[in-house]
């Protein structure tokens, strides 16, 4: 058994960490946090040059043709650095949707420009409140055009294209949903930026008015494709969350070692030590669940749906737990704009919702466990 990443993959992780430490310092993240840029363009370019954007895209479509395990280790570092770039929207959602369901022509059109950093993609699924469910998709597709409103769309204001979930039937079943590719720079698309919890990752409302769209995958198969895209993205996001959780834990640990109160390091008080120990526990459980998700993703195993849900829940909890207690360890300073703690708190809580909230994934996990037991 080798339930771990290979030496080459670990080397890639070190390479990504080094690159991001240099190009994505907290100071660089703050440029986007403070609203001075919609995302870090230089970093995005650099990620493309490093081959990170196309690491899991096959060579024939302009990628590095490595695989999902390689993408997992990069994702962990993106989370650790709190990178202010549309990585998850473009790479986990748009590119994976194209890889699963795209025609050869669609893949040829979009994947090489994703790998090269020229195209930003996203998934437009949500329409206001509610979790992923066919009944929540109201935007319609007919005669090659879309009509309706998607909100929130991650990185919607900077994306070049979107994979859009649309209603093509009214039977009340999953088969009513189909996916479409839309060029967001074309006519009939109106984009409005939304204020959101995590300004380092934009959110938008996109209104489609007779916007031209081409089908992605077969009509009526949108929901099953979407489910697989969300499962894959859940694993990849879990690695970002694990990276973020680890960083928040380290920040808390370092502060507890440096800060003196009552004449001693605050890390010598059990109340603080035990809080940090519990953060380590949740981060470790999340990492282990995510490794299982990575295995299932990389081997295309039948266990992926269950593994993805478990990784999603565990990593979401761990990142939220570590990010909030990191602020607690820092005391008042943790609640200032100046300290970096809130960047992780914001990211943790935004990520907890992005692919559907915990409520949704808890439901998914139990359904999938039951299915497995019944089989």
Partner 1 sequence: MNFDDTPQEAEFRATARAWISANAPRQYEEELRKSSLGRTVLKNANILEVAKAWQKKKADAGWACLHWPKEYGGRGASPIERVIWQQEEGPFGQLSRMFIIGHGMCGPTMMAFAREEHKRTYLPPLASGEKVWCQLFSEPAGGSDVAGLRTRAEKDGDDWIINGQKIWTSGAHYSDYGILLTRTDPDVPKHKGLTMFFLDMKSPGVEVRPIKQASGASDFNEVYFTNVRIPDHQRLGEVGDGWNVSLTTLMNERSAIGAAVSTGFPELFEYCSSLMLDDGPAIEDRAVRSKLANWAVKASGLKYTSMRAISALSRGERPGPENSIGKLVAGSMIQDVATYALDLQGASGVVSGEDGELAGRFQAMLLRAPGTRVEGGTDEIMRNIIAERVLGLPGDIRVDKDVPFNKIPTKGRG
Residue ranges in contact with partner 1 by CB under 8 A: 1-6, 69, 249, 253, 256-257, 264-265, 267-268, 270, 272-274, 276-278, 280-281, 284-286, 288-289, 291-292, 294-295, 298-299, 309-310, 313-314, 317, 359, 361-363, 365-366, 369-370, 373
CB of 39 to partner 1, least distance (A): 32
Distance CA 179, CA 137 (A): 11
CB of 321 to partner 1, least distance (A): 12
Burial class of residue 51, CB neighbours in 10 A (0-12, 13-18, 19+): middle
Q: Work out whether strand 161-167 and strand 121-124 pair parallel, antiparallel, or are unpaired.
A: parallel
Residue 336: count other Cβ atoms within 10 Å of its Cβ: 12
Would you give the DSSP letter of residue 172?
S
CB 166 within 8 A of CB 139: yes
C-alpha distances in Å from residue 284, one per residue of 235, 245, 258, 307, 317: 15, 10, 24, 16, 12
Q: Which is nearer to partner 1, 11 or 299 (CB)?
A: 299
Q: Which is nearer to partner 1, 16 or 296 (CB)?
A: 296
CB of 85 to partner 1, least distance (A): 27
Burial class of residue 287, CB neighbours in 10 A (0-12, 13-18, 19+): buried
CB of 61 to partner 1, least distance (A): 24
Q: Is the dihedral of CA 250, 251, 255, 256 positive or negative?
A: negative
Q: Which is nearer to partner 1, 170 or 270 (CB)?
A: 270
CB of 285 to partner 1, least distance (A): 3
Closest listed residue to residue 352, CA positions, set 325, 314, 303, 304: 314
Q: Which is nearer to partner 1, 209 or 372 (CB)?
A: 372
Q: Which is nearer to partner 1, 152 or 252 (CB)?
A: 252
The alpha helices in 299-340, defined as continuous H runs, are: 304-330
Q: Round to the nearest angstrom and report the end-to-end CA distance of the chain.
A: 26
CB of 185 to partner 1, least distance (A): 39
CB 111 within 8 A of CB 95: yes
Q: Which is nearer to partner 1, 69 or 213 (CB)?
A: 69
Q: Which is nearer to partner 1, 244 or 293 (CB)?
A: 293
CB of 314 to partner 1, least distance (A): 4
């Amino acid at each position: 058994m080798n339930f771990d990443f290979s030496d080459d993959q670990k080397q890639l992780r070190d390479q990504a960490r080094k690159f991001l430490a240099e190009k994505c310092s907290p100071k660089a993240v703050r440029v986007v946090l403070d609203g001075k840029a919609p995302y870090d363009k230089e970093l995005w370019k650099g990620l493309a040059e490093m081959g990170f954007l196309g690491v899991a895209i096959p060579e024939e479509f302009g990628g590095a043709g490595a695989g999902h395990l390689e993408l997992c280790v990069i994702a962990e570092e993106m989370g650790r650095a709190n990178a202010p770039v549309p990585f998850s929207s473009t790479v986990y959602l748009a590119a994976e949707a194209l890889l699963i369901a795209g025609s050869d022509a669609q893949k040829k059109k979009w994947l090489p420009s994703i790998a090269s950093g020229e195209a930003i993609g996203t998934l437009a699924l949500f329409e206001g409140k509610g979790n992923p469910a066919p009944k929540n998709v109201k935007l319609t597709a007919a005669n090659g055009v879309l009509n309706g409103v998607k909100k929130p769309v991650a990185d919607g204001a900077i994306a070049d294209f979107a994979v859009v979930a649309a209603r093509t039937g009214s039977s009340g079943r999953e088969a009513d949903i189909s996916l479409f590719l839309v060029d967001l720079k074309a006519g009939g698309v109106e984009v409005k930026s939304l204020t959101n919890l995590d300004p380092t990752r934009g959110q938008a409302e996109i209104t489609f008015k007779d916007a031209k769209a081409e089908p992605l995958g077969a009509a009526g198969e949108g929901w099953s494709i979407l489910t697989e895209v969300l499962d894959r993205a859940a694993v990849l996001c879990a690695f970002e969350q694990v990276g973020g959780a680890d960083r928040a834990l380290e920040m808390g640990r370092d502060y507890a070692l440096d800060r003196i109160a009552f004449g001693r390091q605050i890390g010598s008080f059990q109340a603080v030590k035990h809080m940090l120990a519990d953060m380590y526990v949740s981060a470790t459980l999340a990492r282990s669940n995510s490794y299982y998700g990575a295995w299932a993703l990389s081997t295309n195993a039948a266990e992926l749906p269950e593994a993805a849900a478990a990784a999603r829940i565990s990593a979401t909890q761990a990142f939220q737990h570590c990010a909030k207690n990191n602020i607690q360890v820092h005391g008042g300073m943790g609640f200032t704009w100046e300290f970096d703690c809130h960047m992780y708190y914001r990211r943790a809580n935004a990520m907890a919702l992005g692919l559907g909230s915990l409520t949704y994934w808890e439901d998914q996990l139990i359904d999938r466990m039951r299915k497995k037991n019944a089989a």
